[in-house]
Amino acid sequence: MPEPRHIQILPDHVANKIAAGEVVDRPASVVKELVENALDAGATQIHVEVVDGGRKLIAVSDNGSGMGRDDALLSVERHATSKIRDADDIENVNTLGFRGEALAAISAVSQFSLSTRRPSDVGGVEVVMSGGKMQDVREAGCPTGTSIQVRHLFYNVPARRKFLRSGQTELSHVRQMFLVYALSYPEVGFVLVVDGRETYRLASGAGSDDRMRELFGAEFTKMLRPVNLETGGITIRGYAGLPQASRADRTEQYVFINRRPASAPMLSHALAEAYHTLLPKGRYPVLFLHVEMEPSMVDVNVHPAKKEVRFRKPSDVRDAVILALRQALSNTHEDSLGGQPRIATVSDTQPLVEIPDLPKARTFSYPRLPMMPSEEAEKTTALPVPGAKSGQQSPSSRPWSWCRVLGQVGGLYVVMETEDGMVLMDPHAAHERLLFERYMRELATRCVASQGLLAPETVDLLPQDAQRVRESLPLLKEMGFGISEFGGDSFLVDALPSCIGDASAADLLSAVAGSMERGGSSGGTERWSEEDVAQAACKAAVKARDRLTLHEIEQLVVDLAGAEMPYTCPHGRPTVIFMSFSELHKKFGRV
């Protein structure tokens, strides 16, 4: 008597439903697959329509290459594709789709119809399916291209349909998917119709900047800086948001790899590293980033929905992304997308202000600097840029063409007027930024200025920390420390980096030792200079309740205008908050 079999081959309709669950999990997934097919077909115009967030209807039409009768019938079969021919092609995929699963998966869980016609054909063909079963194939009069309608998604999979969210929630996912591809392909025209109402109509032939303004508005794009870097066969381009445009989540981070909306764990690390000293914890930058390289350098076959990719040389890509973003945010590029002025880079020879604990100064009502009419502001500036010679820099290369210091409020915040509105500055955060940038610049040029201590300080370290410091004494001296062994696990410190000379020698040495443990000597230097010097700069900066004199405030404003990143302190807190005149007019009901 034969043994009972516990393993059996699943029927095709069951296997198709299981496969559909990997590719299609909500209406936005259907939109993604159909739009990708349209783009791969060379469409220059794509029309998307949804009803009830896509739960009742998803319709995608394009003017691409279309299909003949035989290809149309094959397109709804599993693993049928025109994108690849053999296994070797997977290593060099240059299309958005390649698996041949999308239409089969979608038709298996919906009431599905496909109409298509090639430019050379007189008539087209229509394929009608329901739940993966062919219902009808007939000739049809239709325009060139392909039109697909997906009705009642998951009607035959009640468990999956039950997990769909409300129509509004599903619509938000559809809208996000639509925006992603509209951004990635600005040369293609896109239309989105929601419940019979046209929501977007984006013209074809647009540039990236025009498409972004069209989708997000001119005010939003003023907070972006261009990214452009080519190194080692990797091209990074796009736009990076300034710290003040950060968000509480990653919903406005758009990353495209060879024009494919996708992500990689390594890229998240690179973005965090690039904004490390610019944003506080829990805040995320706005990004529109295109990463381009040879298709053979990217593995796109690691996720059923192609949401994630892997790189052949991940460290090269990570380093390129970090470098590109840091260059964009350090004001070495020209004007931003929105036409806003960039900030001048501070001169390496100009000393930055150091403000010690100050006694309370008398209050004042008006500044010494006169208000300048706008036509004069084009020619000169009330506060010159550090290190700039006469006529060397234009006012448009700074965060403000001119400013007028009005005073301090609350014993802390500095109030200024600029040509565009009102600025509130936190002197403590601003001074932190200046001290931090000074040390970073000195460390990069290996020319760190030291400041002798009035009395040498003896520092006792834990045995493991002492050993790392002992092995790195030459490096520490390059970092501006005057340090020597004092016997056992003790060290004598008689000098510290001048820009953070008020910090505790014991705290600094412990921080350096810990960083060297985590990253080695060179890695520890970089990590320490970005993390622990930020803490030291915080302790050495002007204190929060110090009331500054007008001269001291003006010097701080001058130096901040020349900083590489004047908008945040090294911990990511804002140094300045800007309110435009248009915002003020709205608040007072003048608009």
Residues 440 and 426 occupy one common structural domain: yes
Residue length of the chain: 591
**Tally of domains in the chain:** 3
CATH number at residue 318: 3.30.230.10
CATH number at residue 403: 3.30.1540.20
Domain boundary among 188, 206, 224: 206
Residues 120 and 224 occupy one common structural domain: no
Closest listed residue to residue 558, CA positions, set 373, 399, 379: 399
Residues 316 and 352 occupy one common structural domain: no
Domain boundary among 302, 329, 356: 329
Lateral strand order in the sheet of 413-418: 403-409, 413-418, 421-425, 576-580
Name 43's Cβ contacts closer than 8 Å, sequence gap at least 6: 62, 63, 64, 145, 188
Residues 424 and 571 occupy one common structural domain: yes
Query: CA-CA distances (angstroms) from residue 157 to 59, 152, 153, 298?
Result: 20, 11, 9, 35
- Which domain does 572 fall in, by range? 344-591
Domain boundary among 329, 354, 380: 329
> For residue 45, which phi and psi values (nearest 5 degrees)?
-145, 125
pTM assigned to the model: 0.63
Residues 352 and 408 occupy one common structural domain: yes
Pairing mode, if any, of strands 253-257 and 287-292? Answer: parallel
Would residue 3 count as lying in a domain? no
**Residue 490: its H or E element:** strand 490-497
**pLDDT tens, per residue, the chain with 591 residues:** 666 766 777 676 666 665 555 678 899 999 999 999 999 999 999 999 999 999 999 999 999 999 999 999 988 887 766 655 565 556 666 777 666 688 988 999 999 999 999 999 999 999 999 998 999 999 999 999 999 999 999 999 888 888 888 888 999 999 999 999 999 999 999 999 999 999 999 999 999 989 998 998 887 888 899 999 999 999 999 999 988 788 888 888 999 999 988 888 888 888 888 888 788 778 889 999 999 999 888 887 666 666 788 898 888 999 999 999 988 887 533 445 544 433 332 333 333 333 444 344 334 334 444 433 444 433 333 333 333 333 334 444 467 777 888 888 877 888 988 888 899 998 888 888 888 888 778 877 778 888 888 888 888 887 777 887 888 788 778 778 888 888 888 889 888 887 766 667 777 777 676 665 554 444 444 545 455 566 666 666 666 555 677 788 888 888 888 888 888 888 788 888 888 888 888 888 887
Residues 411 and 554 occupy one common structural domain: yes
Residues 389 and 496 occupy one common structural domain: yes
